[in-house]
Structures are given as structure tokens and as C-alpha cells.
């Protein structure tokens, strides 16, 4: 995020796209509601009629995967009506002309045909966004989990750059992190591209620095990203696997292929708090402590480093992950400092990554959270990025052209399936489904289907159905709901006995490798064995059926 979460309440215009904020980030949604309560305008671009559309001034219910068309058309309107911020573009950006040329070919009237969003709505939203000084964009997986994920992000950032809605309180570009410490894991270098603090692994000077720091010559071969790893497991390049807190059998797309690849592994370590699905392939399973049982830091969506503190002892022999890792390293022969607590680990991290150089447990304990960059012990927390200009030199416009999703609906698979989260569960639901209360509220998987489609297929609300894609078949109950567009269906991915990711495609974005969880072709086959029953009484979706 370029802005901070508490800035949202003061925004005057919110453009929320590809984010079901009330369910995936409820607390950020509260800030959005607060802004709307104050009188801020809200535009939601989402194929589903999510809760936020209830209080939105505009709902752009686009067809899944047509984001680039929609966003380019908004840019088209802004430029056509001269609403761009010329001086700001001049001072802070490069490559503007390329976008001008490209978006000329994306008039709203044509966009209406591709996206299904009325041209007039596109115009109104584009105008409101461009002309409101405190206008923020909020997005998440609905933008990135596409084969065109990177393009989608570029198209959004083009809007930000042409309006100059950056480096100002409550105005900016805000991807909302889906997991507690995605930011922190990346910050810490758990990515093949970067060493800690976003120091590039491809840079020999960086590798030298870490070779010296750790006393081991760093491997110059480029590392594999997650999506590549899954493929390399399949083709025999990978033979050993260490999984820490990650259940790839649930969370990765095209699960069947993942399971097949795991069969070829020679050695698999799984370190987790529960016996997860991947443990079935493990040679060693290590019991870990959960967040309530250990110390450390999480870094949230707005770059805020905050403390995790131990409240209770882990069960049985379970140990904190950091203790286990330090011990594995020691036993592997790597010389290690004898870490007494995670504070010492953090100090090592901070000493090697200038962005966090000024952060210490001592400061975190007295100041609460600190938003990086904080380079020196006396540097303040950084509330929002790009103050007084773009962070790294000039903001680069990236013209993007529309490309259709990897799969489209066809006669055999006439529906477009998107997947996502619900409020009541979390990821593979290893934690939330062990809450009796949450399981009571949302006990099982479901597929949302528009009444129009349901009627044609003879599917009733609460009926058992099979959802079928080219990759697999999953059984769950139908929730007939106007939350989804006609022709679209939607499923949560939380339920292991109904693994949505048997259906999804592992076609990934060319840059990030992120799988296209948001679009795949599917069909629904009614299962005729039992009487339909209501899926979740009182849920927002059933209220709108």
C-alpha cells in the first residue's frame, strides 16, 4: 500500500476493484464504510455484487478478466476530457505518450461491449476519480490472480500516474495483502528474486554482500518461483522439498498435478501446526508453534512492522519455527549465531537490509508499530510512500493491451468460475474450521450461481451439484444468488473436502507466475440424490437471491 490504513477514512473517493474487502479485509472495509459514512463516493468494480456495492455510488459489474478494457476505458475518458494532471505527469513520470496512444483505442462505448459495464458508468467513475483530490485505489487478488495480473496492475497505475493521485494522504494505490505476513515474508527475502530488504538476487554485489555476511558463497543460479517450482517438481528438476506452514495440496491451482508431482519427490519435510494434506507425502513432519505461542514480527499491508508476542506455551513437543530452523542450520554444518530470541534474528535482518535498519524490538515495544522504510534508529515511521514525487526516480507509464483470459466459456464449459475468500474462513481453513462457531455459521463449501443460469440447468438453491472444469470435478451445494453475474459462478477455496483448486488453471501471469484463480471455464451438473436445503440462512448472499 502506498497509503496507511487509517488514511482511508479521510478519503473522498474510493475505487475498489477486485477486492471483496468486507470479507477478505473486514477491518479495512470498516475504514471504507467510515469514509462513505462521511460522504465519500465509492465505486466498486467487481464481477460480483459484493456487500460494498450496497453502499456504493457505482457498481461496475464487469465480466471476469475484462479489467484491462475497463481501466483503459477509464483512462480514455480522463484523457479525452482533459482531466489528467499535466504538470504532475511532466514532473514525475515517463512514457506518458505510449499510454495516450494506446487508450485511444479503448472508448467506453466499445468497453461496454467487452466488459458489460455501461459506458456512462465508466465515464462517471473516471471523472469522479480524476477530479477528486483525495482519491484512492484499493485492489487485491481480483486484479492480480489473472494471466493478465501484471497488466491489470499497470493499467491501474496508469490511472494513478495520469491523475497524480500519489504521495498525498488518502490518495494512492493500495494493494491489500491477503495474509498476515505476506509483506513481511517478502521483506525478509523469502523470494527467489530478492534478498532481505528487496536487494536483487541477480545482482552479484548483493550476492557478495550476503556471501560475506553468512560465510557461504551464494549460488548464482536464478531461483524458481512458486509456480515454476510446481512445474519443476513435475518434470524431475526438483527432488527435495521443505514446506514451512504451507499446504500446497490445498492452495496451489490444478491440485491434481501438484499431487502427481509430489509422488516424484525423494524427500519432503513438512513443518506445520496441524497434520495438513501435504503431510501425506512427508518424510519428516515437524510440529510448530502457532502465533500465540511465539515471539516475532508480522508486517502488514501498509508496511507496518508489529510485534507478535508469546501468550501460551506450545502443545507437547512443538517448537517455534525459528527455533527449528536455527537448529536445522546448525546441524547442516552452517555456523550460526546462538540466537536466544527472535529479537536477535531481527537485529541480524535489520543489519543486512537498510530499509529496516532503524527497526528494533526496543522501538517496536515502545512505539507500537513502525512503517518501513525506517533506515536509522532515529528515523520516523513512514506513513505514506511517494511523498513529494515518485519513490524511485520517475513513475513509468506502461501501456497495456487487452488479452483475453487463458480460458473462456464455451459450449462444453459455458460458465466462468472465479474463486475467493469468505468472511468466516481463511485460506485452507486449517484454523477457522476448527472453530466450532465459524463452522456453524459456514459449515461447507458452495458455489454461487445466478438464478437465471440455475433455472435453466434445473438447479435449486441448496442442491448438491458437481462443478466441472477441464481439470477436475468438485462436489458442493449450489447457492442461488444474484451476487454473481449471469454466466459467472463463484466458489470459496477454503474447504479441503471440496477442493476448488482441482478446477482452477495453473496458467500464470508471465511476470509473477501468479495463477489465474479468477477465471476458468466450468459447467455445473446437478446431483439428484437429495432434497435441496438452505446453505447459509441469513447470509448476505442468500438475502439477495
H/E stretch holding 453: helix 451-457
Q: CA angle at residue 525 from 461 to 477, to 5 degrees?
A: 35
Q: Is residue 34 a contact point for other proteins (CB under 8 A)?
A: yes
Smaller CB distance to other proteins: residue 189 or 468? 189
Q: Which three cell numbers stand for residue 4?
A: 496507511
| Burial class of residue 18, CB neighbours in 10 A (0-12, 13-18, 19+) | buried
Piece of 30-38, 68-76, 110-118, 127-135 that binds other proteins (CB under 8 A): 30-38
Residue 38 near residue 16 (C-beta atoms within 8 A) = no
Please pick, from the candidates 98, 306, 360, 398, the single residue that binds other proteins as defined by CB under 8 A: 306
Residues 6+ apart with CB under 8 A from 320: 288, 289, 293, 294, 295, 296, 314, 342
Q: Is residue 83 a contact point for other proteins (CB under 8 A)?
A: no
Q: Is residue 196 a contact point for other proteins (CB under 8 A)?
A: yes
What is the dihedral sign for C-alpha 149, 151, 156, 157? positive
Q: Is residue 198 a contact point for other proteins (CB under 8 A)?
A: no
Q: 3-class DSSP state for residue 295?
A: coil
Shortest distance (Å) from residue 394 CB to other proteins: 26
Please pick, from the candidates 2, 85, 147, 381, the single residue that binds other proteins as defined by CB under 8 A: 381
Please pick, from the candidates 62, 74, 103, 324, the single residue that binds other proteins as defined by CB under 8 A: 324
Q: Is residue 302 a contact point for other proteins (CB under 8 A)?
A: yes
Please pick, from the candidates 13, 129, 322, 493, the single residue that binds other proteins as defined by CB under 8 A: 322
Distance CA 491, CA 497 (A): 13
Q: Is residue 39 a contact point for other proteins (CB under 8 A)?
A: no
- Per CB under 8 A, which of residues 157..186 are in contact with other proteins? 169, 175-186
Q: Is residue 124 a contact point for other proteins (CB under 8 A)?
A: no
- Per CB under 8 A, which of residues 498..537 are in contact with other proteins? 512, 514-515, 517, 537
Q: Is residue 346 a contact point for other proteins (CB under 8 A)?
A: yes
Q: Is residue 238 a contact point for other proteins (CB under 8 A)?
A: yes
Q: Is residue 25 a contact point for other proteins (CB under 8 A)?
A: yes
* Binding residues with other proteins: total (CB under 8 A): 163
Please pick, from the candidates 75, 349, 474, 519, the single residue that binds other proteins as defined by CB under 8 A: 349
| Angle of the 255-262 helix axis to the 226-234 helix axis, nearest 10 | 60
Q: Kindly state the DSSP code that residue 467 receives in the 8-state scheme.
A: E
H/E stretch holding 171: none
Q: What single string gives the DSSP state of each residue in 234-249?
A: HTTS--EEEEES--HH
Q: Is residue 36 a contact point for other proteins (CB under 8 A)?
A: yes
Count of C-beta atoms within a 10 Å radius of residue 544: 13
Please pick, from the candidates 214, 231, 526, 527, the single residue that binds other proteins as defined by CB under 8 A: 214
Residue 21 near residue 301 (C-beta atoms within 8 A) = no
Please pick, from the candidates 223, 377, 404, 452, the single residue that binds other proteins as defined by CB under 8 A: 223
Q: Is residue 293 a contact point for other proteins (CB under 8 A)?
A: yes
Q: Is residue 392 a contact point for other proteins (CB under 8 A)?
A: no
- Per CB under 8 A, which of residues 433..472 are in contact with other proteins? 434-438, 440-441
Amino acid at each position: 500500500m502506498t497509503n496507511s490504513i487509517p488514511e482511508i477514512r479521510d478519503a473522498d473517493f474510493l475505487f475498489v476493484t477486485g477486492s471483496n474487502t468486507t470479507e477478505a479485509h473486514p477491518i479495512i472495509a470498516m475504514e471504507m464504510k467510515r469514509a462513505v459514512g462521511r460522504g465519500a463516493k465509492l465505486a466498486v468494480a467487481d464481477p460480483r455484487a459484493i456487500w460494498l456495492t450496497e453502499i456504493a455510488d457505482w457498481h461496475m459489474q464487469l465480466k471476469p478478466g475484462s479489467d484491462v478494457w475497463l481501466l483503459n476505458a477509464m483512462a480514455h475518458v480522463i484523457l479525452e476530457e482533459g482531466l489528467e494532471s499535466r504538470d504532475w505527469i511532466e514532473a514525475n513520470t515517463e512514457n506518458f505518450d505510449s499510454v495516450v496512444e494506446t487508450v485511444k483505442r479503448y472508448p467506453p462505448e466499445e468497453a461496454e461491449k467487452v466488459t458489460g459495464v455501461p459506458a456512462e458508468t465508466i465515464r462517471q467513475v473516471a471523472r469522479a476519480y480524476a477530479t477528486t483530490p483525495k482519491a484512492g485505489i484499493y485492489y487485491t487478488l481480483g486484479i492480480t490472480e489473472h494471466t493478465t495480473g501484471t497488466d491489470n496492475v499497470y493499467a491501474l497505475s496508469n490511472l494513478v500516474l495520469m491523475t497524480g493521485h500519489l504521495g498525498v494522504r488518502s490518495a494512492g494505490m493500495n494493494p491489500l495483502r491477503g495474509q498476515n505476513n505476506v509483506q513481511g515474508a517478502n521483506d525478509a527475502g523469502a523470494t527467489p528474486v530478492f534478498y532481505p530488504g528487496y536487494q536483487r538476487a541477480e545482482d552479484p554485489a548483493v550476492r557478495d554482500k550476503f556471501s560475506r555476511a553468512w560465510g557461504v558463497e551464494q549460488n548464482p543460479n536464478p531461483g524458481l518461483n512458486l509456480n515454476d517450482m510446481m512445474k519443476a517438481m513435475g518434470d524431475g528438476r526438483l527432488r527435495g522439498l521443505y514446506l514451512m506452514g504451507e499446504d500446497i495440496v490445498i492452495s496451489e491451482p490444478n491440485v491434481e498435478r501438484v499431487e502427481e508431482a509430489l509422488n516424484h519427490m525423494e524427500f519432503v519435510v513438512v513443518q506445520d501446526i496441524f497434520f495438513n494434506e501435504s503431510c501425506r507425502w512427508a518424510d519428516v513432519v515437524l510440529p510448530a508453534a502457532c502465533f500465540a505461542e511465539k515471539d516475532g514480527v508480522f508486517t502488514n499491508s501498509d508496511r507496518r512492522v508489529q510485534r507478535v508476542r508469546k501468550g501460551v506455551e506450545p502443545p507437547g513437543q512443538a517448537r517455534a519455527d525459528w527455533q527449528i530452523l536455527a537448529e536445522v542450520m546448525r546441524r547442516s554444518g552452517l555456523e550460526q549465531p546462538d540466537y536466544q530470541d527472535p529479537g536477535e534474528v531481527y537485529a541480524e535482518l535489520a543489519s543486512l537490509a537498510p530499509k529496516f535498519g532503524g527497526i528494533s524490538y526496543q522501538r517496536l515495544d515502545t512505539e507500537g508499530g513502525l512503517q518501513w522504510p525506517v533506515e536509522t534508529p532515529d528515523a520516523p515511521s513512514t506513513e505514506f510512500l511517494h511523498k513529494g514525487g515518485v519513490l524511485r526516480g520517475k513513475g513509468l507509464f506502461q501501456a497495456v493491451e487487452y488479452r483475453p483470459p487463458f480460458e473462456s466459456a464455451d459450449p462444453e464449459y459455458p460458465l466462468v468460475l472465479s474463486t475467493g475468500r469468505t468472511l468466516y474462513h481463511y485460506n485452507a481453513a486449517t484454523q477457522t474450521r476448527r472453530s466450532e462457531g465459524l463452522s456453524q455459521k459456514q459449515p461447507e463449501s458452495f458455489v454461487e450461481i445466478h438464478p437465471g443460469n440455475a433455472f435453466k440447468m434445473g438447479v435449486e438453491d441448496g442442491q448438491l451439484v458437481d462443478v466441472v472444469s477441464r481439470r477436475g470435478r468438485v462436489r458442493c451445494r449450489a447457492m442461488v444468488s444474484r451476487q454473481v453475474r449471469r454466466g459467472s459462478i463463484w466458489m470459496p477455496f477454503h474447504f479441503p473436502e471440496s477442493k476448488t483448486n482441482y478446477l482452477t488453471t495453473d496458467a500464470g501471469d508471465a511476470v509473477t507466475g501468479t495463477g489465474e484463480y479468477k477465471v476458468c471455464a466450468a459447467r455445473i451438473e446437478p446431483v439428484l440424490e437429495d432434497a435441496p436445503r438452505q446453505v447459509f440462512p441469513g447470509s448476505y448472499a442468500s438475502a439477495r437471491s
